[in-house]
Structure 1
Amino acid sequence: MTHAQEVGMRTGGDLVIETLSALGATTVFGIPGQHALGLFDALGRSPLQYISSRVENNAAFAADGFARVTNQPGVLIVSTGPGALTALAGIQEAYASSVPMIVIASQIPQAGLGGRRKGMLHELDDQKAAARNVTKTQHTIHHASAIPAVVEDAWRTALSAPQGPVWVEIPQDVLLHPAPIPPPCDLSITLAQLTPHHSSVARAAQLLSAARRPAIIAGGGVRRSGMAAQQALAMLAELLDAPVVCTPGGNTAFPYDHPLSLGGWVEDRYVTEVFEDADVLLAVGTALGEVSSNYYSMQPRGQLIHIDAEPRVLEANYPGLGIRADAELALEAILSAIQHGPKPTVSNWHGLTAAKLVAKVRRQITDRIAHQDLEHEQSIMRSIRNAVPDDAHTYWDMTIAGYWAWNTWDTKHGAFHSAQGAGGIGYAFPSALGGAVGLQQRVLAVSGDGSAMYSIAELAAAKQHNVPVTWLIIDDGGYGILREYMHDAFGQTVGTELTRPDFVALAQSFGVSATLTDPASLVDDLQAAWLATGPNVLVLPTTLKMWTPTHQTFDRA
């Protein structure tokens, strides 16, 4: 115990927690460690809810899942060295998917900073450098007086477009020594608006108004901008009579059942060819990266208008009119310019209206899949969708079921979450845990048996905090998607087959209710699990296959 604690004085750790509380934080995720004990001691005296994870990487995923449903930064506290490094893969997903997060990491005492001067436990040559690839900004606090300002700046940076995680590290002695300033109260954060340049808006409106075959790719930026952005997108699509596809991160940005909706079929060649044929292609809130470009196979022949809050992605893969802006502000500005300008050209997709083109493409996709012997896979996806409420939040791992969901999941009134940014496995269950804490309602996590083993320890956290998460583990005996990739590429597989536990018995050993289900009873078992209290697990032994995109020439007839 420090002298400050003995005499009841506030410490640097108290000041960190007080600042987070004043900014509006309600929940903290993380794991204690030797150098971070000053933070956890203060946390124990605060009104903040603490969710105790079992692995730092999973704690980062949980903070990510919390942030996605609360529109406030997820707060993650990790200890020095191994704890901080273990969290980086989870933080990478937040960085790649623009999820706001405040990462508070402890550091060795200041006397040891500077690279192996003292030979201290957990010491790194430059811990902050390790975080540089996965956070927007990085800060080291050397004096308690700087804590409120740095944490406040971190909160603002995390929420500013493009959103993302921010790294703040504090040496052990700063956390334990007396805090000489009073606690901050009711901190108010004002975010700068990322508005588009007027000249670029005018040019985009001119191009879209004159387009005969306009089309739209809606990404996660539209979704993160909120309902106003989604309404502006719908109005713009209808005004232009433009087909719309949503990326995995953009699921819910445009209604799945809208006559102009191509759903989430960004990985389908028929849909890719629609965007190649567009004379003006609007991509908003997406990096047009690996997945949203259908693995770079898309080659637009028309004019590209690319809107994103992250300037580094503009024209990174395709030339075009790049506009750095928040999706909502850009969409509203372009919509207004078109509404107050010349009437848009009537769309004509080689004799088809956009709605008829969309209906045709969706029939082509359905017909192609029908010839691939995939009724079992489609049945499983229908069962999952039919079993959960329309307002359900679902969290998906990088597994075959998750890839099906990327393209086919109709979110309706809920929300779809996956690790489509960085693509690390083990995301679903811990992020769902964080989401359920934030929503205070039941959510669904879907994993394969391989990805489930990454986060199986968090069953203890779910049980400890009685979190309402239903976890569906689809057990096919290995890394199913990698099995397909390797077999297709090399004709054989290596390292994809796994010895795994009895998941039902393992979950029950944590005190978590678990059921072995099958395709015939999946709907009933999921519905029963949804009505239960606390965490529960369903294990479905089955093998799913991926669908194969077509590569034949788009038929415009």
Structure 2
Amino acid sequence: MTHDHDLVLQPTAAQREAALNPPPGRNGGDLVVETLAGLGATTVFGLPGQHALGMFDALRRSSLRYVGLRVENNAGFAADAYGRVTGEAAPLFLSTGPGALTSLAALQEAASASAPVLAISSQVPTAGLGGGRHGYLHELPDQSASFRGVVKSVHTVRAQSQIPSAIAAAWKSALSAPHGPVWVEIPQDVLLAPASVPVVTAPDATPEDLPPRPELTAVAADLLSRASRPAIIAGGGVVRSDASGKLLALAERLQAPVVTTFGGKGAFPWEHPLSLQSWLEDRYTTDFLEDADVLLVVGSGLGELSSNYHTFRPRGRVVQIEADLGKLEANHPALGIHADARLALQALLETVDARTDPEAPARVRALLSRVSARIAAQQLTLEQDVLAAVRRALPAGAPSFWDMTILAYWAWSAFDPRGANTMHSAQGAGGLGYAFPAALGAAAADPAHPVLAVSGDGGALYSIAELATARQYDLPVTWLIVDDGGYGILREYMTDAFGEPTATELHRPDYVALAESFGVPGVRTTPETLERDLAKALSTPGPSVVVLPAVLRMFAPTHLG
């Protein structure tokens, strides 16, 4: 009797020929790029360094496209965005020690946002491992220890025969729900030695499914079917699992209003009659969600931002669907369903009873009207006009990437992304410098469409070097820099808390002249001409910079009832 798991795939004639007659000049680095190509990778991000040169030399003999950035952290942000927009694992090549460590902030953001980044770093030669006393350049006592608390999994290689399996295991880990960054490290001598392993042709790394337990979805379906005031919070897990269509179908069947978290922007249509949009920093929205007798939370851990700074106190029953086990019931008691959002929503669609609630759209309109009136009373027309100009200038479907800046904080709540998986920010970990390098990664994934990056002048200084990358690869990224003379949001925080700011004011360059020195067109705009200048830049091939000198203010949040 033959079982399915007894079957072994046999190599094709071409694979057998490649294995028996490998091309000359292969080294351990070739095993890396062969494995990646076999897994389906097409693009590699990174920055070379002494111990990693074996991998970079192998790129020359491969079909993989290399996009090199100027700072390792920016390369990590680019890989993060590539993973978000494609749903594929994005390879990131790094060198040992300082190069590797410089990527940590980007990998933290990828972990927070569940972006599948496959970081592959070199290590000191095998003889120098373990002690930190051998005096090799870039040597660390335990390099992988620096990453274990950040990435989803760590994979170490000590021999060439381990390379294909380690990378395949890392690939599988990165793409199994919840997606996330993974870490592989390979010593320099293993990368440089002549390859003794046959050409890698067909590695198997199929991601594992994470289906819900049927008894849990049965209870959840019963609760939702019998609810009188159901509501839904949709987080980034809905976007990562490509489940927005199933969310829409379930919300309409239940007549349940939906609010999207800042990480879940675009998971539900903005103008839908059941859309509460994304006004989470608003007590009216918090009250509405607390009043739900059954609250379905999909793909969110209800962290600080999603819970209106932990002021959210649900009074009804909470059903939480979450792929990250550590986030399940981490903040609120719930019927916790550990599952991929797409599979769990499908199970609910198959078992939930349809509800009729003709009053639901009216309750949604009433809430949005109260929110709008609260914002209007704060006389922040400049901020609203600027955000509206950006929305009008950005073509529907074009992705946007937002740094930690005041305009982005507005966008989290007030920007219509016009589609799932189109608006991205660094709100997961909250580091500066995300927008522009991330936009470059998205443009590398799809260079046929324009991409928008939005930064403040403080965050922009983290990423200036990547103007060279944008020009070198002619990537269609328009970078909007809102120049308010410093760290604007920190200026507000400190003024509110202490009466005056400290360490927030910045000397900065002429961003237009600086962009032009890289060969990137730049224009200085005004709030009145922003829409025209931004639209023109987005419609022009290649990179561009639009600078808006403006001091924007945040709307007053409402955390307390």
Shorter-chain TM-score tier: over 0.9
CA separation in 1, counterparts of 2:330 and 2:378?
Answer: 35
CA distance in 2, matches of 1:138, 1:35: 19
In 1, distance between residues paired with 2:415 and 2:443?
20
Is the counterpart of residue 356 in structure 1 residue 362 in structure 2?
Answer: yes
Indicate which of 211, 217, 226 corresponds to 1:195.
Answer: 211
Partner SS state of residue 191, structure 1:
coil
Deviation track 1:206-231 (CA, whole Å, cap 9, x = no partner) reads: 111111111100001111111xx222
Q: How far apart, CA to CA, are the structure 2 residues paired with 1:236 and 1:92?
A: 32
Report the 3-state secondary structure (helix = DSSP H, G, I; strand = E; otherwise coil) of the residue aligned with 2:401.
strand
AA aligned opposite 2:428: G
Give the distance between the partners of 1:551 and 1:412, measured in 2 at CA: 28
> Is 2:46 the partner of 1:27?
no
Secondary structure, aligned partner of 1:262: strand
The 1:266/1:488 distance shift into structure 2, 3 A limit, reads same
Whole-angstrom CA distance in 2 between matches of 1:269 and 1:243: 16
Deviations 1:410-447 (A, max 9, x none): 11147101112111110000000000010122100000
Give the match for residue 15 of structure 2: none
**AA in 2 matched with 1:32:** P
Alignment-derived partner of residue 46 in structure 1? 62
Indicate the SS of the match to 2:109.
helix
Correspondence for 1:3: none
Does structure 2 retain, via aligned residues, the 8 Å contact 1:60–1:90?
yes
The aligned runs of 1:374-453 (5 Å cut-off) are 374-413=380-419, 415-440=422-447, 441-453=449-461
Distance 1:383 1:274 in 2: 30
- Aligned partner of 1:223 in structure 2 is 239
Contact 2:172 2:208 in 1 (8 A): no
Q: Distance in 2 between matches of 1:552 and 1:224?
A: 31
Per-residue displacement from partner, 1:226-254 (whole Å, max 9, x unpaired)? Answer: 1xx22221122122221100011111111
Aligned to 2:524: 516
What's the CA shift for 1:549? 2.7
CA displacement at 1:492 relative to structure 2: 1.4
| Cα contact 1:14–1:43 (8 A) shared by 2 | yes
Residue 310 of structure 1 corresponds to 324
2:525 matched to 1:526? no
1:246 corresponds in structure 2 to 260
8 Å Cα contact 2:311-2:560 kept in structure 1:
no
For the 8 Å contact 2:269–2:419, the answer to whether it is kept is: no
**Which of these residues, 497, 508, 514, is aligned with residue 500 of structure 1?**
508
Contact 2:51–2:123 under 8 Å retained in 1: yes
What is the rounded CA distance, in whole Å, between the counterparts of 1:194 and 1:412 in structure 2?
Answer: 29
Which residue of structure 2 aligns with residue 483 of structure 1?
491
Distance 2:446 2:280 in 1: 29
Structure 1 stretches of at least 4 aligned residues deviating more than 4 Å after TM superposition: none
- Residue 136 of structure 1 corresponds to which residue in structure 2? 152
The equivalent residue for 2:549 is: 541
CA distance in 2, matches of 1:170, 1:420: 32
Aligned to 2:275, the other structure's residue is in SS state coil
Counterpart selection for 1:455 from 458, 463, 484: 463
> Structure 1 CA distance, aligned partners of 2:247 and 2:401?
25
Q: Which residue of 1 aligns with 2:27?
A: 11
1:140-219 mapped onto 2 (5 Å cutoff): 140-219=156-235
Match of 1:320 among 326, 334, 343: 334
The one-letter code of the counterpart of 2:433 is G
Question: What is residue 88 of structure 1 aligned with on the other side?
Answer: 104
Pairing 1:257–2:271 present: yes
Out of 271, 284, 294, which is 2:308 matched to? 294
- Structure 2 gap ranges (5+): 1-22
Deviation at 1:388, TM superposition (A): 1.2
Counterpart CA distance in 2 for 1:237 and 1:179 is: 55
Alpha-carbon distance, 1:183 to partner: 1.5
- Which residue of the partner structure matches residue 482 of structure 2? 474
Separation in structure 2 between the aligned mates of residue 260 and residue 413 of structure 1, nearest angstrom: 16
Alpha-carbon distance between aligned partners in 1 of 2:269 and 2:308, rounded to the nearest angstrom? 21
CA distance in structure 2 between the partners assigned to 1:27 and 1:138 by the alignment: 22
- TM-score, length-scaled by structure 1: 0.94
**Corresponding position: 1:125 with 2:135:** no
Offset of residue 548 of structure 1: 1.1
1:70–1:439 Cα contact (<8 Å) kept: no
Alpha-carbon shift at residue 14 of structure 1 (Å):
0.8
Residue aligned with 2:545, SS: strand
Q: How far apart are residue 295 of structure 1 and its match? A: 1.0
TM-score, with structure 2 as normaliser: 0.94
User: Are 1:271 and 2:279 counterparts?
Assistant: no
| Code of the aligned partner of 1:300 | P
Shift, 1:490, TM fit = 1.5
Most deviating of 181-190 and 360-369: 181-190
**Aligned CA-pair RMSD:** 1.3
Distance apart, 1:552 and its partner CA? 7.2
CA distance in 1, matches of 2:132, 2:326: 35
For the pair 1:338 / 2:352, whether they are aligned, the reply is: yes
Corresponding pairs, count: 537
